[in-house]
Structure 1
Amino acid sequence: MTTALRAVLAFALLAGFYVLVGSVVAAAVFFDVLLLIDFHANGLRAAIVLTLAAAALVQALIMVSRRSGGEQPGVLVTREHEPALWRTVEDLAQRVRTAPPDEIRLVPEVNAAVSEETRFLGLVATRRRMYIGLPLLQTLTVDEMRAVLGHELGHYSGAHTRLGAPVYRGRVSLIATVHNLRRHPFIQRLFSLYAKLYLRVSQAVSRRQELEADEFAVVIAGRQAMAQALRKIHYTATAWEVYTDDYLSMTGAGGCRPVAVFGGFHSLLNDTARQAELAKLVERPVETSPYDSHPSLAERLAAIEALPEPEQVPDPRSALTLLQDANVAAHAIEQSMWSPQGLTTLRAVSWEELVSHGVYAARNAHALRDLALAGRRVVGANRPYLDAAFEAIARGRQAELEEGLREQGWTAPEPVLARVVARALEAVLIQHGQARWELSWSGPARLVYDDGEEVALAEYAAQVAADPAAVAGLREWLGDLGVRHDYVPPEAEQEQPQAAG
């Protein structure tokens, strides 16, 4: 089936969706009118079910129709801001015989994309936008970036974006409709089946359009540049996922945000040990689905290899050379990543400081608080001081302490007390300036003493948790660190009951 035929079928299915909605609404009106003419109990049940379902359908469509595009992501760059980038895009647009975008926006994503606002089901275009991810500029060469930009402009040349806007709108409408019918399982099942058929057809169109856009990219930059760009994008996307999950996710800890988002990503990409890990990750098999919007990497590479190789003048420079000042651009994009409130309330700090706060918040803070609270409950103390937990252990009441921790959310098949004690003791060392979490781009942060020796408390904590006699030695060790017997963790202070007055 050709792409054009699939596109026509997708539009036909979209029209059929609205016909289906109209049929349900018409049936509801029919039974409501019938009840007014000749009342029957069976008719009443059918009228109620259909009327409620019709209301849910209409509500879903109204909600979708009222959704606006919202604020555009990233940073708008004009020809005055980035003349080299704009010249490149305009030159490539001429080569694929299409109009250039009206806007170029730099975004904090491993992606390049184009969009087109349209009217009358895509017949009239009103505004074109191109989105270019800074992580791509960090990792691709000029040749490879030209291939990527040529691919995106190929979507314009092939009128993919004009078809895509109404098709995407229909996809959103169908998904919202199915979700809104959750209280009407039979009708939801009907629309769900219809939605799956629509998605399979429309996504097949999208996959074919991606291959067509790859052909434009090869004409512009050659097979090698486009193939290498696709491999690098796959690698960079994997690296960005690791980066956001393990590092950027710490934003907010200690009221901080990273001062150099893309500087950190550059450090991770250039870490030798991390490169080996990422190389293994990108080799993992990727499952494909008929609902995927893009063909698999292997399919795209095979299709590219079958295309003729044009003559090209290589340009192996970093794609960052397309920007006037990469540091200025990176800073502007980083500013766009935070809300106005975040920019004013979160301190911009080094990655070393952010990791120190972030790992403590994720690993230690809750353990220290929860251990103190559980100890207060077991021994009946009036304050959540840390030594209450150790007193519970000294009395042989570890089971009660463990139960209290599980009630606070510490769940695992194995006993959690030793794990919580270890993390709480780490927190005590950090709170009293004896240790710190050390940033590593190779893997997880390390807790080290001032002399660089790694802190290892798991075995000792397990001994304390299992042996009440070990508590005396623990108390002596804490005293040598300057930890008071009545030490109340800062995280537990807010949990104290307020005095009446």
Structure 2
Amino acid sequence: MTTAFRAVLACVLLAGFYVLVGVVVAAAVVIDVLLVVDFHGNWLRAAIALTLAAGVLVRVLVVVGRRAGGEEPGVPVTRGEEPALWQAVDDLARLVGTAPPDEIRLVPEVNAAVSEDTRFLGLRSTRRRMFVGLPLLQALTVDEMRAVLGHELGHYSGAHTRLGAPVYRGRVSLLATVRALGGHPLIRRVFTLYAGLYLRVSQAVSRRQELEADRFAVAIGGQRAMAGALHKIHGTATAWGLYTADYLSMTGAGGYRPATVFNGFHAMVSDPVRQAEIARLSEQPAETSPYDSHPSLAERLAAIELLPEPEHVPDPRPALTLLRDATAAVQAVERSMWRPEALELRPASWDELVAQGTYAVRNAEALHDLAEAGRRVVGANRPYLDAAFEAIARGRQAELEERLRELGWQASETMLAAVLGQALEAVLIQHGQARWTLSWSGPARLLFDDGEEVALAEYAAQVAASPSAVPGLREWLGEQGVRHDYVPDPQRVRHAPV
């Protein structure tokens, strides 16, 4: 089955979706009219269910149809701002036999992409955009970047983007419809099966188009440049996922956001331990699905090896050299990443963000809640920490745990020990004895001033289980400068990440 035939079939299936919606709506109207003309009680339940389902379908189509495309991501760069990048794209467009995009935007993604606004179901193009991921410019050489850009321009040359918008909207409409029909299992089943067929066909078209665009990339940059780019993109995407999960996710913790995003990413991928982890994760075979929009890395590399190798003069310079002022571009793209509420947060270095953010997420609430639970158990007038120690000393751990559950902590055999350990860490931090320390190799580490790692889990478990251990705990805290009537600072309760 050719790519062109599959594309036509995807459009036919998209039209069929709207016909299917029309059938359900028409059936609801007919049965409602029949009930009015000749009422039958045993039809009433079916009529109500069908009418409600038809209402859901109409509402979904109206909402999806009205949904604006929104502001395009990233930062637009003009020819005057980035002449080298535009010149490269213009040259590549001529090589693949297509018009250059009307707009280039730098985006904070491990990706490059093109889009095309069209009218009359793709018969007329109105505006073309190219999106270039800043992490790719950090990771690739000029040679590899040219191959990637040639691949994207190949989508234009192959007219792959002409039907992209309607096919995408159809995909969104189908998935939204299936989600909205949760209360109508029979009709939802019909639309689920139809959506599966549509996605299989449309995504198969996408995979074939990716392989076709790879031919343009190899014709421009050669097998080595395109294969190297694919390997690096795969690894960089894996690294960006780790970076987002382990570091960027801390944005908002403690009321801070990172002052620099891409410098931190560069620092993480430069760490030898992380490099080994990224390499290991990248080598794991990826699961494939008929619903994938791209062929697997192995499939693309195998297809590239079969293509003829063009004459080519390599350019191993970093791809960032295509930007006139890489620092200014990085700052502009970083600013575009943040929502207005995130921009109101205090910018901080990664060292400060990790120190304050980890405290806010791990320690602040434990310290505050343990003191409050102790106050409730012993009847103190203030939530001071020693009240919790007194409750343990009196053998009232069960009551202390109950109060912690009231404050939102999840019940478990180790709950009291865990809360106590985190609270003791907080005390050391607030009294300047320890600090959470940034590590690009893994999780943050809590270190004393002399560099020794703080390890309180076993000690906290011992104290939680043994009232006789409380005097020793009080003595140790006294040596750290903690007064017996110490009350946690209420202003330092956790700010959740955003």
Contact 2:74–2:337 (8 Å) recurs in 1: yes
Contact 1:355–1:439 (8 Å) recurs in 2: yes
Q: 1:408: how far off?
A: 4.1
Q: 1:280 to 1:464 in 2, by over 3 A?
A: same
Q: Deviations over 1:18-63 (max 9, x none)?
A: 1111111111111122122222213333322221111110000000
**Which residue of structure 2 aligns with residue 498 of structure 1?**
none
Question: Does 2:344 align with 1:367?
Answer: no
The separation in 2 between residues aligned to 1:59 and 1:380, in whole angstroms, is: 56
**Which residue of structure 2 aligns with residue 348 of structure 1?**
347
Question: Does 2:15 align with 1:20?
Answer: no
Contact 1:379–1:388 (8 Å) recurs in 2: yes
Q: 1:492 to 1:313 in 2, by over 3 A?
A: closer
Residue correspondence of structure 1 range 97-116 to structure 2 within 5 A: 97-116=97-116
**Which residue of structure 2 aligns with residue 67 of structure 1?**
67
The separation in 2 between residues aligned to 1:450 and 1:418, in whole angstroms, is: 25
Q: Deviations over 1:164-204 (max 9, x none)?
A: 11111100111111112112111111111111111111111
Contact 1:365–1:491 (8 Å) recurs in 2: no
**Which residue of structure 2 aligns with residue 184 of structure 1?**
184
Q: 1:74 to 1:136 in 2, by over 3 A?
A: same
**Which residue of structure 1 aligns with residue 251 of structure 2?**
251
Residue correspondence of structure 1 range 399-414 to structure 2 within 5 A: 399-411=398-410, 414=413
The separation in 2 between residues aligned to 1:170 and 1:265, in whole angstroms, is: 36
1:166 is aligned with what amino acid? P
Q: 1:285: how far off?
A: 2.4
Contact 1:372–1:492 (8 Å) recurs in 2: no
Q: 1:366: how far off?
A: 2.0
Contact 1:436–1:447 (8 Å) recurs in 2: yes
Q: Give me the TM-score of the superposition, normalised by structure 2.
A: 0.96
Q: Deviations over 1:68-120 (max 9, x none)?
A: 11011111100011000000011111111111111100011111111111111
The separation in 1 between residues aligned to 2:104 and 2:131, in whole angstroms, is: 6
Residue segments in structure 1 that go unaligned for 5+ positions in a row: 496-501
Contact 1:268–1:274 (8 Å) recurs in 2: yes
Q: Deviations over 1:191-242 (max 9, x none)?
A: 1111111111111111111111111111110111111101100100111111
**Which residue of structure 2 aligns with residue 153 of structure 1?**
153
Q: 1:409: how far off?
A: 4.4
Question: Does 2:307 align with 1:312?
Answer: no
Q: 1:492: how far off?
A: 8.3
**Which residue of structure 1 aligns with residue 135 of structure 2?**
135
Report the 3-state secondary structure (helix = DSSP H, G, I; strand = E; otherwise coil) of the residue aligned with 1:76: strand
**Which residue of structure 1 aligns with residue 337 of structure 2?**
337
**Which residue of structure 1 aligns with residue 92 of structure 2?**
92
Q: 1:252 to 1:492 in 2, by over 3 A?
A: closer
Q: Deviations over 1:454-498 (max 9, x none)?
A: 222222222211221111111122223232222222248989xxx
The separation in 1 between residues aligned to 2:190 and 2:220, in whole angstroms, is: 46
Contact 1:392–1:401 (8 Å) recurs in 2: yes
- Matched length: 494
2:445 is aligned with what amino acid? R
The separation in 2 between residues aligned to 1:416 and 1:340, in whole angstroms, is: 37
Question: Does 2:452 align with 1:487?
Answer: no
The separation in 2 between residues aligned to 1:35 and 1:460, in whole angstroms, is: 74
Report the 3-state secondary structure (helix = DSSP H, G, I; strand = E; otherwise coil) of the residue aligned with 2:163: helix
**Which residue of structure 2 aligns with residue 265 of structure 1?**
265
Contact 1:123–1:162 (8 Å) recurs in 2: yes
Mean CA deviation greater in 136-145 or 370-379: 370-379
**Which residue of structure 2 aligns with residue 451 of structure 1?**
450
Q: 1:286: how far off?
A: 1.5
1:230 is aligned with what amino acid? L
**Which residue of structure 1 aligns with residue 416 of structure 2?**
417
> How much identity, in percent, do the aligned residues show?
76
**Which residue of structure 1 aligns with residue 233 of structure 2?**
233
Report the 3-state secondary structure (helix = DSSP H, G, I; strand = E; otherwise coil) of the residue aligned with 1:127: strand
Question: Does 2:328 align with 1:328?
Answer: yes
Contact 2:368–2:493 (8 Å) recurs in 1: no
The separation in 1 between residues aligned to 2:462 and 2:68, in whole angstroms, is: 59
1:461 is aligned with what amino acid? A
Report the 3-state secondary structure (helix = DSSP H, G, I; strand = E; otherwise coil) of the residue aligned with 2:116: strand
Q: Deviations over 1:127-164 (max 9, x none)?
A: 11111110000010001000110111111111111121
Q: Deviations over 1:380-422 (max 9, x none)?
A: 3333221121111111122332344345444475422222211
Q: Deviations over 1:402-452 (max 9, x none)?
A: 344345444475422222211111100111111111111111111112222
**Which residue of structure 2 aligns with residue 434 of structure 1?**
433
Contact 2:255–2:345 (8 Å) recurs in 1: yes
The separation in 1 between residues aligned to 2:139 and 2:406, in whole angstroms, is: 47
Q: 1:494 to 1:325 in 2, by over 3 A?
A: closer
Report the 3-state secondary structure (helix = DSSP H, G, I; strand = E; otherwise coil) of the residue aligned with 1:160: coil
Q: Deviations over 1:307-335 (max 9, x none)?
A: 11111100000000000011110011111
The separation in 2 between residues aligned to 1:223 and 1:336, in whole angstroms, is: 34
